[in-house]
Amino acid sequence: MLGFPVALLTANAFEWYAHKVWLHEYPRKHRNSPFFSHIRHHKRVRLNGFEDEHYTMPMFQDQEIFNEKVALIGLCAVFTPTVAVAPFFTAGIYYSAWQYWHKHSKAHLQPEWARTQLPWHYDHHMNTHQDANWCVTRPWFDYLMGTRVIGDDSVAETNPLGMALPGWLERPVNRVARRLLPKAFQRLDANRHSEHGRRQRGEVEEIAA
Protein backbone atom coordinates (compact mmCIF):
# COMPACT_ATOMS: atom_id res chain seq x y z
CA MET A 1 0.00 0.00 0.00
CA LEU A 2 2.81 2.39 0.92
CA GLY A 3 4.16 1.81 -2.58
CA PHE A 4 1.47 4.03 -4.09
CA PRO A 5 2.37 7.30 -2.33
CA VAL A 6 6.08 6.46 -2.74
CA ALA A 7 5.50 6.17 -6.50
CA LEU A 8 3.67 9.52 -6.56
CA LEU A 9 6.64 11.18 -4.84
CA THR A 10 9.13 9.47 -7.16
CA ALA A 11 7.17 10.56 -10.23
CA ASN A 12 6.92 14.11 -8.89
CA ALA A 13 10.69 14.27 -8.37
CA PHE A 14 11.18 12.94 -11.89
CA GLU A 15 8.80 15.58 -13.30
CA TRP A 16 10.82 18.28 -11.60
CA TYR A 17 14.18 16.95 -12.75
CA ALA A 18 13.34 15.91 -16.32
CA HIS A 19 11.46 19.12 -17.06
CA LYS A 20 14.28 21.31 -15.73
CA VAL A 21 17.30 19.43 -17.08
CA TRP A 22 16.10 17.53 -20.17
CA LEU A 23 13.48 19.96 -21.47
CA HIS A 24 14.99 23.34 -20.59
CA GLU A 25 18.74 23.13 -19.95
CA TYR A 26 19.69 20.50 -22.53
CA PRO A 27 17.88 21.85 -25.64
CA ARG A 28 19.22 25.35 -25.02
CA LYS A 29 22.71 23.95 -25.53
CA HIS A 30 21.70 21.46 -28.24
CA ARG A 31 19.29 23.19 -30.56
CA ASN A 32 19.03 20.21 -32.90
CA SER A 33 17.99 17.78 -30.18
CA PRO A 34 14.42 16.43 -30.29
CA PHE A 35 13.85 18.06 -26.87
CA PHE A 36 13.96 21.45 -28.57
CA SER A 37 10.27 20.91 -29.32
CA HIS A 38 9.63 21.90 -25.69
CA ILE A 39 11.13 25.36 -26.32
CA ARG A 40 8.71 25.70 -29.24
CA HIS A 41 5.87 24.65 -26.93
CA HIS A 42 6.84 27.57 -24.67
CA LYS A 43 6.84 29.99 -27.61
CA ARG A 44 3.40 28.95 -28.84
CA VAL A 45 1.95 29.12 -25.34
CA ARG A 46 3.24 32.68 -24.85
CA LEU A 47 1.84 33.81 -28.20
CA ASN A 48 -1.58 32.23 -27.66
CA GLY A 49 -2.52 33.12 -24.09
CA PHE A 50 -1.49 29.69 -22.73
CA GLU A 51 -3.26 27.74 -25.46
CA ASP A 52 -1.33 25.18 -27.55
CA GLU A 53 -3.47 23.68 -30.29
CA HIS A 54 -0.84 21.00 -30.94
CA TYR A 55 -2.48 19.05 -28.12
CA THR A 56 -5.32 18.21 -30.49
CA MET A 57 -2.92 16.51 -32.93
CA PRO A 58 -2.20 12.78 -33.17
CA MET A 59 1.21 11.84 -31.76
CA PHE A 60 2.71 10.76 -35.07
CA GLN A 61 2.06 14.16 -36.61
CA ASP A 62 3.64 16.25 -33.93
CA GLN A 63 7.12 16.10 -32.40
CA GLU A 64 6.21 17.57 -29.00
CA ILE A 65 3.21 15.30 -28.51
CA PHE A 66 5.25 12.33 -29.72
CA ASN A 67 8.10 13.08 -27.29
CA GLU A 68 5.78 13.52 -24.34
CA LYS A 69 3.83 10.32 -24.98
CA VAL A 70 6.95 8.24 -25.68
CA ALA A 71 8.59 9.53 -22.48
CA LEU A 72 5.54 8.66 -20.38
CA ILE A 73 5.09 5.24 -21.98
CA GLY A 74 8.84 4.62 -21.56
CA LEU A 75 8.66 5.53 -17.89
CA CYS A 76 5.82 3.04 -17.40
CA ALA A 77 7.75 0.34 -19.30
CA VAL A 78 10.90 0.85 -17.21
CA PHE A 79 8.97 0.43 -13.95
CA THR A 80 6.75 -2.45 -15.10
CA PRO A 81 9.10 -5.18 -13.70
CA THR A 82 8.52 -3.76 -10.20
CA VAL A 83 5.00 -5.18 -10.39
CA ALA A 84 6.38 -8.52 -9.13
CA VAL A 85 7.61 -7.07 -5.83
CA ALA A 86 5.69 -3.80 -5.40
CA PRO A 87 2.44 -3.75 -7.37
CA PHE A 88 1.15 -0.61 -5.61
CA PHE A 89 4.33 1.20 -6.59
CA THR A 90 3.86 0.18 -10.24
CA ALA A 91 0.23 1.30 -10.11
CA GLY A 92 1.33 4.66 -8.68
CA ILE A 93 3.78 5.18 -11.56
CA TYR A 94 1.08 4.36 -14.15
CA TYR A 95 -1.36 6.68 -12.40
CA SER A 96 1.22 9.49 -12.33
CA ALA A 97 2.01 9.10 -16.04
CA TRP A 98 -1.70 9.27 -16.84
CA GLN A 99 -2.16 12.31 -14.60
CA TYR A 100 0.71 14.07 -16.35
CA TRP A 101 -0.75 13.53 -19.79
CA HIS A 102 -4.30 14.30 -18.73
CA LYS A 103 -3.48 17.53 -16.87
CA HIS A 104 -0.89 18.88 -19.29
CA SER A 105 -3.00 18.37 -22.42
CA LYS A 106 -6.18 19.64 -20.77
CA ALA A 107 -4.35 22.70 -19.43
CA HIS A 108 -3.16 23.82 -22.87
CA LEU A 109 -6.57 23.33 -24.44
CA GLN A 110 -8.49 25.03 -21.60
CA PRO A 111 -6.33 27.96 -20.41
CA GLU A 112 -8.91 29.22 -17.91
CA TRP A 113 -9.05 25.79 -16.27
CA ALA A 114 -5.25 25.80 -16.04
CA ARG A 115 -5.08 29.32 -14.62
CA THR A 116 -7.34 28.39 -11.73
CA GLN A 117 -6.80 24.62 -11.30
CA LEU A 118 -3.15 24.18 -12.31
CA PRO A 119 -1.72 27.58 -11.29
CA TRP A 120 1.85 26.24 -10.89
CA HIS A 121 1.98 25.21 -14.54
CA TYR A 122 0.23 28.38 -15.66
CA ASP A 123 2.97 30.29 -13.82
CA HIS A 124 5.65 28.11 -15.43
CA HIS A 125 4.67 29.51 -18.82
CA MET A 126 3.17 32.92 -18.06
CA ASN A 127 5.41 34.39 -15.32
CA THR A 128 8.08 36.95 -16.17
CA HIS A 129 10.63 34.14 -15.93
CA GLN A 130 9.98 30.66 -17.39
CA ASP A 131 12.74 28.72 -15.60
CA ALA A 132 10.86 27.80 -12.43
CA ASN A 133 7.69 25.91 -11.43
CA TRP A 134 8.94 22.62 -12.90
CA CYS A 135 6.25 20.31 -11.56
CA VAL A 136 3.15 19.77 -13.71
CA THR A 137 0.70 17.54 -11.84
CA ARG A 138 1.32 18.78 -8.26
CA PRO A 139 3.80 21.41 -7.03
CA TRP A 140 5.46 19.22 -4.35
CA PHE A 141 9.11 19.26 -5.44
CA ASP A 142 8.96 22.93 -6.35
CA TYR A 143 8.14 23.60 -2.71
CA LEU A 144 10.93 21.31 -1.55
CA MET A 145 13.50 22.77 -3.94
CA GLY A 146 12.45 26.42 -3.57
CA THR A 147 11.41 26.75 -7.22
CA ARG A 148 7.73 27.53 -6.78
CA VAL A 149 7.18 31.10 -7.97
CA ILE A 150 3.60 32.25 -7.42
CA GLY A 151 2.37 34.74 -10.01
CA ASP A 152 -1.20 35.49 -8.98
CA ASP A 153 -2.16 35.08 -5.34
CA SER A 154 -5.88 35.10 -6.05
CA VAL A 155 -5.72 31.73 -7.86
CA ALA A 156 -2.59 30.17 -6.32
CA GLU A 157 -2.84 26.93 -4.34
CA THR A 158 -3.25 27.54 -0.62
CA ASN A 159 -1.20 24.56 0.56
CA PRO A 160 1.99 22.86 -0.68
CA LEU A 161 0.10 19.68 -1.61
CA GLY A 162 -1.68 21.59 -4.36
CA MET A 163 -4.98 19.95 -3.44
CA ALA A 164 -8.32 21.46 -2.48
CA LEU A 165 -8.54 20.69 1.24
CA PRO A 166 -11.24 21.70 3.73
CA GLY A 167 -10.12 24.45 6.11
CA TRP A 168 -9.96 22.21 9.19
CA LEU A 169 -7.43 19.99 7.38
CA GLU A 170 -5.55 22.67 5.47
CA ARG A 171 -4.62 24.71 8.52
CA PRO A 172 -2.72 21.90 10.29
CA VAL A 173 -1.17 20.77 6.98
CA ASN A 174 0.25 24.26 6.45
CA ARG A 175 1.38 24.51 10.07
CA VAL A 176 3.27 21.23 9.87
CA ALA A 177 4.73 22.07 6.44
CA ARG A 178 6.03 25.44 7.62
CA ARG A 179 7.54 23.86 10.70
CA LEU A 180 9.25 21.08 8.74
CA LEU A 181 10.44 23.26 5.86
CA PRO A 182 10.98 26.81 7.13
CA LYS A 183 13.58 27.57 4.44
CA ALA A 184 11.28 26.42 1.65
CA PHE A 185 8.57 28.80 2.81
CA GLN A 186 11.04 31.68 3.08
CA ARG A 187 11.97 31.02 -0.53
CA LEU A 188 8.30 30.84 -1.48
CA ASP A 189 7.62 34.29 -0.01
CA ALA A 190 10.80 35.78 -1.50
CA ASN A 191 10.01 34.31 -4.94
CA ARG A 192 6.48 35.67 -4.88
CA HIS A 193 7.80 39.07 -3.90
CA SER A 194 10.40 39.24 -6.68
CA GLU A 195 7.90 38.05 -9.31
CA HIS A 196 5.53 40.84 -8.30
CA GLY A 197 8.39 43.34 -8.49
CA ARG A 198 9.40 42.18 -11.98
CA ARG A 199 5.79 42.44 -13.16
CA GLN A 200 5.50 45.98 -11.85
CA ARG A 201 8.71 47.00 -13.56
CA GLY A 202 7.70 45.17 -16.75
CA GLU A 203 10.81 42.96 -16.68
CA VAL A 204 9.67 40.06 -18.85
CA GLU A 205 12.16 37.50 -20.05
CA GLU A 206 11.19 35.54 -23.17
CA ILE A 207 12.66 32.09 -23.57
CA ALA A 208 15.49 32.10 -26.15
CA ALA A 209 14.53 30.16 -29.27
Residues that bind Zn ion (CB under 5 A): 54, 62, 64
CB nearer to Zn ion: give 51 or 62: 62
- Cβ at position 23, least distance to Zn ion in Å: 6
CB nearer to Zn ion: give 64 or 157: 64
CB nearer to Zn ion: give 15 or 64: 64
Nearest to 114 by CA among 102, 127, 104, 99: 104
Q: Are 43 and 209 in contact (CB under 8 A)?
A: yes
DSSP H stretches of helix in the chain: 3-17, 26-29, 37-47, 63-79, 87-109, 111-117, 119-126, 140-145, 167-180, 182-201
- Cβ at position 206, least distance to Zn ion in Å: 13
The whole-angstrom separation of Cα 110 and Cα 123 is 15
Phi, psi of 33, rounded to the nearest 5 degrees: -70, 155
- Cβ at position 41, least distance to Zn ion in Å: 6
CB nearer to Zn ion: give 56 or 80: 56
- Cβ at position 17, least distance to Zn ion in Å: 13
The whole-angstrom separation of Cα 42 and Cα 124 is 9
CB nearer to Zn ion: give 54 or 187: 54
Nearest-CB residue for Zn ion: 54
- Cβ at position 11, least distance to Zn ion in Å: 17
DSSP H stretches of helix in 80-110: 87-109
